[in-house]
Amino acid sequence: MAEKALKVRVISPEQTLFQDSADAVFVPGSVSPFEVLPGHAPIISSLASGTLSIRTLDGEMHTFAVVNGIIRVKDNEVVVCVG
């Protein structure tokens, strides 16, 4: 059975912008936008300019403007480094 939550961290060179559990992350991938849900296959991807959205377990949406960056997903842990 897949985990029901993702551990999500959004970091920049200056600080941690977000750290919490979530049930979905919507990402502006450099090839195309994609969604990360619990149980997602491991991936490393570059990000394009756009909006990164995170839906926390209580349904609250957190959004971040992204110019560029990378995302790593592994074992229900999501780390997004934004520029």
Listed by start position, the domains of the chain span 6-82
CA pair distance 77, 83, nearest whole angstrom? 20
CA pair distance 74, 63, nearest whole angstrom? 22
pTM as predicted: 0.92
Could you report the per-residue pLDDT of 16-64, keeping only the tens digit for each?
Answer: 999 999 999 999 999 999 999 999 999 999 999 999 999 999 999 999 9
Query: 8 burial class (0-12, 13-18, 19+ CB within 10 angstroms)?
Result: buried
User: Phi and psi at residue 59, in whole multiples of 5°?
Assistant: 90, -5
CA pair distance 3, 5, nearest whole angstrom? 6
Between 2.60.120.10, 2.40.10.480, 3.10.350.10, 2.60.15.10, what CATH number should domain 6-82 receive? 2.60.15.10
Could you report the per-residue pLDDT of 52-64, keeping only the tens digit for each?
Answer: 999 999 999 999 9
